[in-house]
Structures are given as C-alpha cells and as structure tokens.
Structure 1
C-alpha cells in the first residue's frame, strides 16, 4: 500500500491510541509518533464489585443468575468511543489522508461512531492489533498491505 508523505496513521486498541505521520516516501514509509493517548487500566475490582444478579421464578423453586457485566470491556469501549470522536477531528483537518489501524473489536466500535463522510475519507481501515514496537512494525505492515 502506498502511503503518501505527511499522511497520518492512527493505531488503536482498547487501551491506547497512537498517531504517526509518514515522514518517508510513499513506497518506503517512515513513521514518526506525533500523538499518543493511553487509557489507564484499572483492575476490574476497582471498576465495580457487584455480585451477579439473581432471578426467581414465582411458579418454580429454581433460581438463576445473570451474567456479570464486563466492566473492563465497557471501559475499553468508552475509551475507543472518545478516540472515534478524536478521529473525526483529525480526518477533517488532514489533507494528506488518514489510515486507520485498529484491533478488530475496537474497529467495530469506531465504525459505529464515525460519520459516513469521515469513513469515506479514510484511505484504509485495517483490522489488526499492534504491538509495543509499533512504528517500525506498522511501517513494514503498510508496505505489504494491499487495499
């Protein structure tokens, strides 16, 4: 995939967002970190301590439990929703183009919150999680990726 010089690459997962700018050539991108946001990870016990709900059937002695809400996932979804609003502003103010790389679940949440004209302006949406050495590995992945 050719990524023009000065294009922005946004990488997102449930706990962080990193924005890079291509300072290299289109056929050999070199990514420079320009912005990073991290979601402070709280332990589930710090997010809530509820026990599973119980239900009783009036005509039967049977009792059932309700599944616990995944508070960690809710927190990640809240963070990714905030990131989606940030992406709206970035795409509106960028002329060179934006590539979005996100973990599959995070990409689904982002797609729900992006306006259709913003989605149309994205150069590519790539469902892929990224690792701690993201700049070099993302640049390498972008050179091999086909749209």
Structure 2
C-alpha cells in the first residue's frame, strides 16, 4: 500500500538541476512541510559561445575526396555535469555533517550524475530520491509536492 511521504521536522531537502542547488530545512510538520532555504549554490552558467567557439572538426578520407564533420562536444552540458559533480561532493559533506534525514529532488539527468558520484554510505543515508526539476525559488510548490508525494 502506498502512503504519503513523511518529511520529518528538521529534515534537509536538496533540490538540484544543472545550474542550481538549494538546500532547505523542514521547519513545518511531517505531513505539512514548510521549507526554509538554508544554503544555495549557482553555476555561473556560461553561454556555450563563451565556453568555446570551435567549429566541428573535419576528417579527410585518404582514399576518397569526401570529408566528414565530427560532432561538436556539448560544452554547456559538460559544464552542467561538472557543476552537478561538485554538488554531489557537497551532498557527501552535508550527509556526513548531519544526523537529519536527507531528501534529494533533482532533474533526472542531474540525479544520474549525482548517483554516479555519491559513495554507497551517502546513498544509504538519503531517505528518498525524486526525479523532478525544482529550482531554489520554488520552496512552496516543492513542499506541496513532497506533502502529496507517494512512496
């Protein structure tokens, strides 16, 4: 039987996407969370044009006059993945520094990157992982989603 998610008082809720990380503390009740922002990090989010201006590389076939273009690396995605990897390290610190429960809400791609970089001890301490995209300015809708989320 599924039940509504219990977000204990003082639990930490960490919301992550490719450009932001926000940590909230539940100052409300278990079934009616009220989230208070306690920490925030932003990726300086450079435009792809600032990250690199190379055109796709070209290769030449020695036996043929044809040329092929190599796909350009998505520098924006690489920058987001680097930021999320840094966030995963911060989550490790948070988990080791607190006894409170941790709930992780992250954009699906960010959640995959975080999982890849968290050790098993940290993963075991995370009470719930929710693959949803919420930003740090969305404490109220995030709290409402958590209150109605079924586990």
Residue 78 of structure 2 is matched in structure 1 by 74
Greater shift in the superposed pair: 121-130 or 131-140: 131-140
SS of 1:18's partner is strand
Q: CA deviation at 1:131?
A: 4.1
Gaps of 5+ in 2: none
Alignment partners' CA distance in 2, 1:131 and 1:38: 11
User: Cα distance, 1:132 vs. partner?
Assistant: 6.0
TM-score of the superposed pair, with normalisation by structure 1: 0.97
Distance in 1, matches of 2:108 and 2:23, equals 18
1:120 to 102, 124, 135: 124
Q: Deviations along 1:27-54, whole A, 9 cap, x unmatched?
A: 1100000000001121111111111011
* Partner of residue 46, structure 2: 42
Q: In structure 1, what is the Cα distance between the partners aligned to 2:107 and 2:31?
A: 24
- Corresponding position of 1:97: 101
Q: Which has the higher contact order (CA 8 A, sep 6+)?
A: 2
Hey, what does 2:64 align to over in structure 1?
Answer: 60
Instruction: Could you list the structure 1 runs, at least 4 aligned residues long, displaced by more than 3 angstroms after superposition.
Output: none
Which of residues 6, 15, 20 is equivalent to 2:19? 15
Q: Which residue of 1 aligns with 2:6?
A: 2
C-alpha RMSD of the superposition? 1.0
Contact residue 15 and residue 136 of structure 2 kept, 8 A: no
Q: Does residue 31 of the first structure (1) align with residue 35 of the second (2)?
A: yes
State TM-score, norm by structure 2: 0.94
1:52-84 per-residue CA deviation (whole Å, 9 max, x = no partner) reads 011111111111000000111111000000000
Paired residues, number: 147
Q: Structure 1: state its 5+ residue gaps.
A: none
